[in-house]
Amino acid sequence: MYKETNLRSIAKGISWRFVATGTTIIIVYTFFGRLDLAIAAGLLETILKIALYWGHEKIWQKIRWGKERIEPFNVWFTGLPLSGKTTIADLLYQKLQKLDIPLERIDSKDIRALIPDIGYTREERNRHIKRIGHLIQTLQKNSISTVCSFVSPYRESRKMIRQMVKNNIVVYVKADLETCQQRDYKGVYQKALQGEIKNFTGISDIYEEPQHAEIVIDTEKISPEEAAETIFKYIKKNYIK
């Protein structure tokens, strides 16, 4: 969120005055053909209007009418590990930033890096998602939209998010388990298969497919760039006035 510095306000005021007074002088000169009087009128106008404009602004600042809260939305990416959630979410975030709306990116790995020991049991995951829900709520109260990417394998936690936040857009990033395993540059599927990682979604824990996702991205068919563009258009159409 930005505010104007005093210097900027003054510079802007002066630059507008040049434009405005210039116009007045030209008009008066055109009508009456007297340059001296035209300039005098222009200068008098300048002094008067600086004061009047200031007063006019002050009065309007006190009027609440016509001010509208910016309506935030939440994009919730769900899908198997390595399905491509983070990649698409990052691309979408970049696109949304250009719209100049208050925006926050929340990714599972950042949160888990910051606060380790969250755990991967059903109960721990649900509690974790609830905390994220609270974070989104707090941000939304301040008109900040969010782009979240979490495996979020259980219906109950995705449903909880939907109940907690406004304008929720679930994006299901669909990829075959085989495809995700082939993309396993982190070696996490390998570790899960060997039992080194427990409760690993897709291997030793269930992924419950979303049934009410607003958008389904089939990563076998479209590229991350195309996916981000599809979601971006959906948001622009439905949530950006």
Q: Which residues are the active-site residues?
A: 152
Which sign, positive or negative, has the C-alpha torsion 175, 179, 185, 188?
Answer: positive
**Buried b / exposed e along 13-48 (16+ C-beta atoms within 10 A):** eeeebeeebeebbeebbeeeeeeeebeebbeebeee
54 binds its own copies (CB under 8 A): no
Tokens, residue 99: 């719209």
Stretch that binds its own copies, among 85-93, 135-143, 147-155, 186-194 (CB under 8 A): 135-143
Single out the residue of 201, 229, 215 nearest to residue 75, CA to CA. Answer: 215
**Considering only residues 88, 89, 96, 139, which one is a binding residue for its own copies as defined by CB under 8 A?**
139
| Block residue for tokens 């003054």 | 10
Q: Which of residues 6-45 bind its own copies (CB under 8 A)?
A: 7-9, 11-12, 15-16, 19-20, 23-24, 27-28, 31-32, 37, 40-41, 44-45
- CA atoms of 76 and 135, how far apart (whole Å): 13
**Considering only residues 14, 50, 54, 56, which one is a binding residue for its own copies as defined by CB under 8 A?**
56
Which residues bind to its own copies, rule: CB under 8 A? 1-5, 7-9, 11-12, 15-16, 19-20, 23-24, 27-28, 31-32, 37, 40-41, 44-45, 48-49, 52-53, 56, 60, 65-70, 102, 104, 106, 111, 114-115, 117, 127, 130-131, 134-135, 138-139, 141-144
